[in-house]
Structure 1
Amino acid sequence: MGNQLPPGQFETTSWPILHQGDVYKFNDETWTFKLFGEVIKERILSYDEVMKLTKAVSTIDMHCVTTWSKFGTTFEGIPLRELLKLVEVNDDVKYIKIYGYYNGDPYGYSANLPLHALLGDDALFVYRWKDVDGDWQDISPKHGYPLRFIPPSSFYLWKGSKWATGIEFMKEDEAGFWEELGYSMTANPFKEERYR
């Protein structure tokens, strides 16, 4: 599906910055990542514990609901499936919410996603990136440093929570931040699922 432009999109070589609320100021001593919800036992990880997890490198196309698409961006990060290995989820867990900072609240932002679609190398909690001709660089604070979820290209980019702080495992789908404001629950750019 690489370099396929979804309907209503235009291609850009830049990575535009769009976000709600304040830019989170990272503190590695207080930052945590929580795995919770429909699990046998919750886990809270420190920054060091998260950064010791197995990494992956993947090139992912990004499609923003505001109509830009950026092809060929390579990311390094922790695959969601590696975090899934750290908890035992209850039966019938089919959905997750990925949380992030919003105006000082570690769980103020969230995006809902189907778990089955996120088990490959193209569902990453990223900390660095590069373009086709560029060198590796940390993602910037405005792009979600220290950890931002980048979803597979089959989802609009608002599903990619910035300043990620945790994953809630769920049996039923539940609206996140933008979904509560009328955005699509499924957010497939190739079907132009922008709004409900």
Structure 2
Amino acid sequence: MDRVPPGQILTERFPILTYGEEPEVSPEEWRFTLRGLVQEPLTLTYEALLALPQVDLTRDFHCVTRWSRLDVAWRGVRVRDLLEQARPRPEAVAARVESYGGYTTNLLLEDLLKEDVLLAHTLFGQPLPRERGGPVRLVVPHLYAWKSAKWVRTIELLDHLELGFWERMGYHWRGDPWREERFQEGPIPAASLRFRKRYIKT
């Protein structure tokens, strides 16, 4: 199977694209919160994140600006494991992700529940550098890279789809590279989304 989605160009480089200033957050200052429509909200420090079961993951990375980098090696914690702790409520179908610096993006809960979605703190065996979203970023390898929010601080579960920064600017509400979902051309799903898959117990 071809690993490069349609419209993408393979590169050995790993470009850095950031809108606005890069926030400066030390590992000691970093906090992550999983909240919203969950039964057990949780907050993690960097130290607590490192104490959780870790996953080494190598996946391809696809940017909406049409470059793809193969075999990017991450280490971190599965978001699915955190969701199992937090126990999403039955009405939760989507999430609003917020970063230090104010960047936001939206995701479906079923996308967050995929096994290769991480809170990543390590890239190619080294602590994640600031310009790559360190100390911790979200990695959602099956969607375009703008969904993999750098400097992640909050995931809030919702009963509706709330568009993030680039989505409000016209980017696609989901961003599947294999379907070339770069820009929104059709209707956005209504607030009554109810197609959640039951991956975890609630």
Q: How far apart are 1:60 and its partner, in Å?
A: 1.1
Pick the aligned partner of 1:112 from 106, 111, 116: 106
Measure, in 1, the Cα distance between the counterparts of 2:166 and 2:17: 13
Q: Residue 177 in 1 paired to residue 146 in 2?
A: no
Measure, in 2, the Cα distance between the counterparts of 1:74 and 1:86: 26
Partner of 1:187: 175
Q: How far apart are 1:85 and its partner, in Å?
A: 2.4
**RMSD of aligned residue pairs (Cα, Å):** 1.5
Measure, in 1, the Cα distance between the counterparts of 2:15 and 2:26: 25
Partner of 1:77: 76
Q: How far apart are 1:7 and its partner, in Å?
A: 1.5
Measure, in 2, the Cα distance between the counterparts of 1:121 and 1:58: 10
Pick the aligned partner of 1:160 from 123, 131, 148: 148
TM-score (structure 1 length as normaliser): 0.87
Q: Indicate conservation of the 8 Å contact 2:62/2:141, yes or no.
A: no
Q: How far apart are 1:59 and its partner, in Å?
A: 1.2
Measure, in 2, the Cα distance between the counterparts of 1:152 and 1:85: 20
Give the structure with the higher percent strand: 1
Partner of 1:143: 132
Percent same amino acid at aligned positions?
A: 35
Structure 1 runs, 4 residues or longer, greater than 3 Å off: none
Paired residues, what number? 184
Measure, in 2, the Cα distance between the counterparts of 1:10 and 1:38: 39
TM-superposition CA deviations, 1:103-160 (whole Å, max 9, x none): xxxxx11111112123333111111122xxxxx222211000010111032x100000
Measure, in 2, the Cα distance between the counterparts of 1:22 and 1:51: 27
When structure 1 is superposed on structure 2, of 114-123 and 50-59 the one drifting more is: 114-123
Partner of 2:54: 55
TM-score (structure 2 length as normaliser): 0.85
TM-superposition CA deviations, 1:20-48 (whole Å, max 9, x none): 12222223343211111112343222222
Partner of 1:133: none
Structure 1 gap ranges (5+): 103-107, 131-135
Cα 1:18–1:6, aligned 2, differ >3 Å: closer, same or farther? same
Structure 2 gap ranges (5+): 185-202
